[in-house]
């Protein structure tokens, strides 16, 4: 029985620490589109649950733009699904021109 309590307590502690780690990361990091790498395939848009990204069509063609950076939790899901290395997580303080 003690073993069960230890396992449960460990799981709860792991969850709480993970929660604070994610919150800290969301405050310090944000997604960024790497210039000229995006093909506009929209895989990242479909993966993002926070609707941070949107497809725009301008002088350089169709590409992803970070429309709502304040919503980004820096989870990295969009970075993972992009096959063209067109997304990266950067420090919010170093935020460049996030088209
Ligand atoms: S950032 Fe990557 S996944 Fe998203 S539309 Fe562009 S190429 Fe596709
Ligand atoms: S890092 Fe996460 S929250 Fe931010 S745009 Fe990508 S999928 Fe959305």
Q: Average pLDDT of each block of 10 consecutive residues along the chain (99 residues)? A: 90 89 84 93 97 93 94 96 97 69
Does a structural domain hold residue 99?
A: no
Helix, strand or coil, per DSSP, at residue 84 = coil
Characterise 28 by phi-psi region: left (phi > 0), alpha (psi -120 to 50), beta (else). alpha
Ligand 2 neighbours, Cβ below 6 Å, are 31, 47-48, 50, 52-53, 72-78
pLDDT value, residue 98: 45
The enclosing domain of 31 has a CATH number of: 3.30.70.20
Does a structural domain hold residue 87?
A: yes
pLDDT value, residue 22: 82
Instruction: Count up the domains in the chain and report the number.
Output: 1
The parent domain of residue 10 ranges over 2-94
What tens digit of pLDDT does each residue of 47-66 get?
Answer: 999 999 999 998 888 999 99
Pocket-testing residue among 42, 57, 65, ligand 1, by greatest number of atoms within 8 A of Cβ: 42
Does a structural domain hold residue 60?
A: yes
Residue 90: partners with Cβ closer than 8 Å, 6 or more residues away: 29, 30, 31, 32, 96
pLDDT value, residue 96: 54
pLDDT value, residue 25: 77
Strand partners, 89: 31
Q: Is the CB of 87 under 6 A from ligand 1?
A: yes
Helix, strand or coil, per DSSP, at residue 27 = helix
pLDDT value, residue 1: 77
């Amino acid at each position: 029985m003690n073993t069960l309590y230890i396992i449960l307590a460990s799981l709860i502690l792991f969850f709480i620490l993970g929660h604070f780690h994610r919150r800290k990361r969301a405050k310090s990091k944000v997604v960024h589109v790497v210039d000229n790498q995006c093909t506009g395939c929209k895989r990242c848009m479909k993966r993002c649950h926070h609707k941070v990204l949107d497809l725009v069509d301008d002088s350089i063609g169709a590409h992803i733009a970070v429309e709502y950076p304040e919503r980004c939790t820096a989870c990295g899901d969009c970075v993972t699904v992009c096959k063209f290395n067109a997304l990266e997580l950067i420090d919010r303080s170093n935020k460049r021109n996030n088209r």
